[in-house]
């Protein structure tokens, strides 16, 4: 009986998510601070157990995977925005949606992509409590956004976050195997841990905009560094993916002469980083960090913290790639 009840709860939770995704309410309400999807799902589950005929279980609708993918694309667009704290409102929705994505074969790769990014939402929420909002100005003017945390604030909070994060179970399958590939490409082997940040070492991970594999390579980047995406997509193969990722990192370090800038460019593109450096007449990551996409502002210090935790070394102390 308990097993049947759990099935009903799961199905109705999926039904509710599907309904909200299809009407757009999930995206809109995720931005309200008072919105708590987990709490609402629990209420629906209790109602279902008390009121539904269990014979109707087979007729309950499933999560609309097409609408789920659209929500994820909208969600990733928010990662491309400039303000880190704006991401905090998505935490409850994303945490509730991720297990459902995991339970459907069509959306399981997106669940693998979303899982390591849940930490970003925790950190954004932490900043939303610790960074005071700007002083109120003229009520007729557009509200001033809450400022981004400084690069040092980001580094400090990510050290705390990663220090309580366990070793990813899948890492043992790949770290020792892929380190020699990075070394052979002339980049520090410790950079293999980018795969923890990108995919939690899940080679099946796929982003809503087309990045794929352990190292989340876009199709154009993969082809640029010798991978095939058809008829078999080599981005999903750990060794070819690692080889292309290492070669790309080597190229980026040769261009920017700085690992923070190289890692930032790996995430948001070398053109975006170069334009900001030019605009602010700088060669320093810290000078442009708060103008980078929100995901990149968190990606770089998370990579730093992961390498420090897993390898005991500082990103900026890593050797220079061979030319």
17 contact partners, CB below 8 Å, separation of at least 6: 26, 41, 63, 68, 96, 97, 100
The predicted structure's pLDDT at residue 23: 38
The pLDDT of residue 20 is above 70: no
The predicted structure's pLDDT at residue 313: 96
Q: Give the mean pLDDT of the chain.
A: 84
Report percent pLDDT > 70 for the chain.
76
- Domain(s) of CATH 1.10.530.10: residues in the chain: 166-317
Task: Out of 4-13, 133-142, 187-196, give the one with best mean pLDDT.
Answer: 187-196
Higher pLDDT, 3 or 191: 191
pTM of the model: 0.81
The pLDDT of residue 114 is above 60: yes
What is the residue-wise DSSP string for 211-271? Answer: -BTTTTB-HHHHHHTT---SSS-GGGSHHHHHHHHHHHHHHHHHHHS-HHHHHHHHHH-HH
Cα dihedral across residues 282, 285, 289, 292: positive or negative:
positive
The pLDDT of residue 21 is above 90: no
The predicted structure's pLDDT at residue 63: 63
Q: Which of 44-53, 151-160, 238-247 has the lowest mean pLDDT?
A: 44-53
> What's the full length of the chain, in residues?
323
Q: Which of 17-21, 27-31, 46-50, 102-106 has the lowest mean pLDDT?
A: 27-31
Mean per-residue pLDDT, 28-46: 43
Higher pLDDT, 203 or 55: 203
The pLDDT of residue 303 is above 70: yes
Q: What is the CATH topology of the domain spanning 166-317?
A: Lysozyme (1.10.530)
Q: What is the pLDDT of residues 210-259, one digit of tens each?
A: 999 999 999 999 999 999 999 999 999 999 999 999 999 999 999 999 99
The predicted structure's pLDDT at residue 38: 46
What distance lies between CA 28 and its chain's CA centroid? 20
CA distance 14 to 4: 15
pLDDT category of residue 40 using cuts at 50, 70 and 90: very low
């Amino acid at each position: 009986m308990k097993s049947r009840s759990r099935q009903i709860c799961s199905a109705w939770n999926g039904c509710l998510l599907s309904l909200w995704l299809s009407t757009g309410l999930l995206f809109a309400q995720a931005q309200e601070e008072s919105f708590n999807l987990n709490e609402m799902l629990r209420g629906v589950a209790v109602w279902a157990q008390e009121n539904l005929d269990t014979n109707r279980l087979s007729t309950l609708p499933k999560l609309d995977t097409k609408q789920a993918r659209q929500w994820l694309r909208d969600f990733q667009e928010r990662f491309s925005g400039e303000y880190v704290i704006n991401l905090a409102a998505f935490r409850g929705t994303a945490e509730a949606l991720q297990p459902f994505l995991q339970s459907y074969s069509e959306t399981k790769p997106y669940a693998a992509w979303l899982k390591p990014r849940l930490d970003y939402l925790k950190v954004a929420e932490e900043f939303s409590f610790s960074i005071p909002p700007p002083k109120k100005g003229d009520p007729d003017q557009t509200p001033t956004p809450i400022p981004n945390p400084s690069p040092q604030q980001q580094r400090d909070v990510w050290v705390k976050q990663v220090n309580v994060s366990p070793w990813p179970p899948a890492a043992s399958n790949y770290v020792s195997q892929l380190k020699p590939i990075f070394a052979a490409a002339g980049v520090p082997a410790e950079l293999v841990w980018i795969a923890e940040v990108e995919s939690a070492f899940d080679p099946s991970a796929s982003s809503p905009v087309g990045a794929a594999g352990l190292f989340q390579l876009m199709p154009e980047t993969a082809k640029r560094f010798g991978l095939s995406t058809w008829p078999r997509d080599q981005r999903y193969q750990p060794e070819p993916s690692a080889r292309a990722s290492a070669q790309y990192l080597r190229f980026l370090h040769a261009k920017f002469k700085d690992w923070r800038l190289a890692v930032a460019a790996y995430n948001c593109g070398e053109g975006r980083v170069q334009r900001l450096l030019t605009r602010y007449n700088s060669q320093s990551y810290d000078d442009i960090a708060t103008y980078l996409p929100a995901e990149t502002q968190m990606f770089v210090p998370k990579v730093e913290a992961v390498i420090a935790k897993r390898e005991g070394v500082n990103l900026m102390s890593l050797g220079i790639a061979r030319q």
